[in-house]
Chains A and B, each alone.
Chain A
Amino acid sequence: MKKYILPLGLLVASAVPVLAAESIVPNTAQSLEMGRELFASRCAECHGRDGKGHVEVIADAGDLTEPLLYRNGSTDEAIDRSIRDGAGAGMPAYSKELKNPEDVGHLRNYIKSLWPADKRPAVEK
């Protein structure tokens, strides 16, 4: 894997329980880039590279670009849960593939960057 240098805070945080580790991943440009790579390799086949879920041949994947359309909730906790444990009948659980708790956070940060501009979290410096 490519090596990324994580801020010290993140390294410390990775030792605490999973939910906490995921929730504190800052929404930085670096996190978005890592999330983008994870999204491209794990999510894009079903949700589409633009997140609109138009790739119907594979699955009935949701449109990730509008939080109002999220079927299993759009809070940070709900998004993380869907990534980890799967959602609906078709979305697989990624807890076995994404061993690093921060990866779920990076992925969630990237997914939220697909939201409309007025709902999108600001990118931290």
Chain B
Amino acid sequence: MANPYNAESSMRTESESKSSQSDETVDNVSSRRNFLRLSAASLGAAAASFSAGGVAAPDVAADGAIPSIRLADAFKQSLTEAPASTSFEGAGMTGAEVFANLCSKEDLAALFCCPGNYTVINALAAAGIPTYGGRTEGAMCAMADGFSRATGEVVATSGTEGPGFAHMIMNIAAANAARTPLLVLASNMTLAGDDREAFIQQAYQQPTTEGIKKYGKRMIDPARVHEYGAYAFRCLKSGVPQPVHLDFPAEVARARFKSPTELRDFYDKSKYRSESRASPAAKDVDAALALIAKSQRPLIVAGQGVFQRKGWDALRRAAEKADIAVVTSGPTRGFFPDDHRLSIATAPNALLSADLVIFVGQYCMPSPGEYRLDPQIKAIRVHPVQEDLGRNWPLDLGIVSDEALFLEILADRLPKAKRDAWVAELTKARSDYQAQIDEIYKLGLDHSAKTGMLHPAVITRDTQNFIDTHPDGRESIATGLGGWTIGLFAGRYMRAYRPAQEILPPYQYGAIGPDMAMMMGVSCAVQRGVGPQKGYEGTPTICITSDAGAAYSLMELDTAIKYGWPTITIVYNNNAWGVWPHASRSARSMHMYLFQEHLRYDQMATALGARGEYVRTPADFRAALARAYKAGRDEKASTLINCQAIKEFTSGKDYPPGVSLNAEPGAGAIAH
């Protein structure tokens, strides 16, 4: 396996730090290194750090200054270690090693974790699975989710028994809503201690993930560890994926096996699961073709299943062959380009005109009325699992099929057709929508000029403009849009042109907070060039989030910098939870919705080893974004841009148009 840690961190190691104390070139006053130098000089205090071997080694510069932030030599050394093989010979294999080998054979793409569940995560690392350790289990779980949203690959997350596992819950639920193939692993004390509150951290894990997983198991029989590992991957790689949760009591993780015969169902993956996929019945395809032939304004809603089954080429071929409009749904965008002549993603006023909708791989199914479609519209739904057909949305035709197979057959069998009136309507609707958001951008510029603060329309439109005009190509930068006020504005302006160029952290579950961590997972995937991110290695990613959202995973900047994932985080700092209008008629409530004003998230980032930028004007923002990109691409540095705003930008009465939800389905849709 190629070394997955191919990204050189921007951070210096202990040894580099000792060999060079004055080799830095500082190009702007807010650079991380300059900040650190100033901090050290002004504080003039001493501190101790510890060497890699765990032996206390006071490391204070001769002049008493605080040492710079740096990576331990042991960190980089650890990343260069080769995988270790295990066998039933000699001392045999532990349950954790049996499980890790299975994960390796299943090409588990990555593990994002915090220490805990030690036997299992160490076995996974030793087996060669790319592993990453961070600061909180919740954020690492979100990182895993982000990696999968950007690649479609199966990923794992892990935490320690009770507390670490409990910390992951919000992000397991978010992954479940997004139908992410996420393997949730956690240690869980001992079978012998069950029901006795023995020692510490006892918790019943499986009931905690009830309703937010596809399958889960507390393993109680060591001999079945491989069997349950196989069960997990069968669920993760078949049908509609969702999280799978395995909890490992010590008796299972630390069991020793000296022969395969000691393990139940110790089969190869070719025997415990199948790659066979459901193909659509010929009569169903005929019926679909007949409905499409009668339609004047057909529309395909391509859901997460199309992305996960990599059906985007067939989708495009089918759409272009018969002038079928397309909009994607789900947490991953770009597998049908927003600027395609048949895209309806930025043409919300055309949605009501569609007379036939073909849902393909729409895992999270809306009800009529939740999509801006004619309630009388004819509906076809293509889904890999029969029992979901007809749920929520009444169908004229339900088809059991793998998404990619259906689209390939559709593309092959569809007769060529021109729907000029429909295409013209799409073009006009896109143009009208663009005019509308251009007008809002102008309002945003006015609001910014009058207040001296950055309006969210300006931040998001100028971010997309930076991407659209960048010499590296507008397809290069992967983005993620979160936060409430800023997220809804970002949905209007941000575009995706290639598969997985954009992910939506709040998709369906609506969690405010995983944004930064998810985008670090995306950045990891980009730097490794996994799946659709191949070809964009070295490119920084951009996360748009809020001050409220940043609080949940800001500490993970440490993790991004450790592993050399260049991330640009744009924080819309409006001094408040975006939902503050809930308190506007409740005088004694407002304090619960407000933060201290003018908090300096840029300085927090700097203290974590990242670059920090503080901006309040459109011109300063554009310049900061350009510097952040250059530092990310050239030095693998991460940057947080603190965009100072005011909470009143949320209000349509004071600063029109205020915040409103975006049309669903389409760009900026977050519910389904």
Please give the residue numbers on chain A whose beta carbons come within 8 Å of chain B beta carbons, in ascending order. Answer: 1-2, 37, 40-42, 44-46, 49, 57-60, 71, 85-97
Contact = CB atoms under 8 A, between A and B. Distances in A.
6 contacts: A1-B353, A41-B352, A85-B653, A89-B650, A91-B658, A97-B657
Nearest to A3: B353
Nearest to A41: B372
B3 interface: no
B325 to A, nearest CB: 14
Contact of A90 (B439, B581, B656): B581
Nearest to B484: A58
Contact of A91 (B579, B585, B652): B652
Given A59-B582, A85-B652, A93 B352 contact: no
B580 interface: yes
Contacts of A96: 436, 439-440, 656-657
B584 interface: yes
B510 interface: yes
Given A2-B374, A60-B585, A90 B353 contact: no
A2 B353 contact: yes
Nearest to B510: A57
A58 to B, nearest CB: 7
Interface in B469-525: 510
Given A85-B652, A89-B651, A96-B436, 8 more contacts: A2-B352, A40-B372, A41-B352, A41-B663, A57-B510, A85-B656, A89-B581, A93-B658
Indicate the size class of the contact surface on chain B. Answer: 20 to 34
B373 to A, nearest CB: 9
A45 B440 CA distance: 21
Q: Name the residue in A37, A57, A71, A90 with the highest tally of chain B Cβ atoms < 10 Å from its Cβ.
A: A90
B350 interface: yes
A83 to B, nearest CB: 11
Contacts of A60: 581-582, 584-585
B320 to A, nearest CB: 24
B440 A44 contact: no
Question: Is chain B's interface secondary structure helix, strand, loop, or mixed overall?
Answer: loop
Contacts of B651: 86, 88-90
A96 B437 CA distance: 9
B659 interface: yes
Nearest to B647: A89
B585 A88 contact: yes
Contacts of A95: 656-657
B658 A92 contact: yes
B353 A86 contact: no
Given A71-B585, A96-B436, A96-B440, A58 B653 contact: no
A48 to B, nearest CB: 11
Contacts of A44: 369
Contacts of A94: 657, 660
A89 B585 CA distance: 9
A19 to B, nearest CB: 18
Contacts of B349: 1
Contact of A92 (B350, B582, B659): B659
B409 interface: no
Q: Name the residue in B372, B582, B648, B650 with the highest tally of chain A Cβ atoms < 10 Å from its Cβ.
A: B582
B353 A87 contact: no
B653 A40 contact: no
A42 B352 CA distance: 13
Contact of B352 (A37, A49, A57, A58): A37
B263 interface: no
A7 to B, nearest CB: 21
Contacts of A57: 510
Contacts of A97: 436, 657, 660
B657 A86 contact: yes
Q: Name the residue in A58, A85, A86, A94 with the highest tally of chain B Cβ atoms < 10 Å from its Cβ.
A: A86
Contacts of B648: 89
Interface in B609-665: 648, 650-654, 656-661, 663
A46 B660 CA distance: 9
Contacts of A58: 661
A49 B661 contact: no
Contacts of A46: 661
Contacts of B652: 85-87, 90-93
A88 B656 contact: no
Nearest to B369: A40
Given A41-B663, A88-B585, A93 B653 contact: yes
B652 to A, nearest CB: 3
Contacts of A89: 580-581, 584, 648, 650-651, 653-654
A94 to B, nearest CB: 7
Interface string B340-363: 000000000110110000000000
Contacts of A86: 651-653, 656-658
A94 B584 CA distance: 20
Q: Name the residue in B369, B654, B657 with the highest tally of chain A Cβ atoms < 10 Å from its Cβ.
A: B657
B273 to A, nearest CB: 38
A1 B657 contact: no
A80 B439 CA distance: 21
B369 A92 contact: no
A4 B92 CA distance: 77
Sorted nearest first, the 7 A-B pairs with minimum C-beta distance are: A86-B652, A90-B581, A89-B581, A92-B660, A92-B658, A89-B584, A92-B652
Contacts of A90: 581-582, 584, 650-652, 658-659
A57 to B, nearest CB: 7
Nearest to A72: B653
Contacts of B657: 86, 92-97
Contacts of B582: 59-60, 90
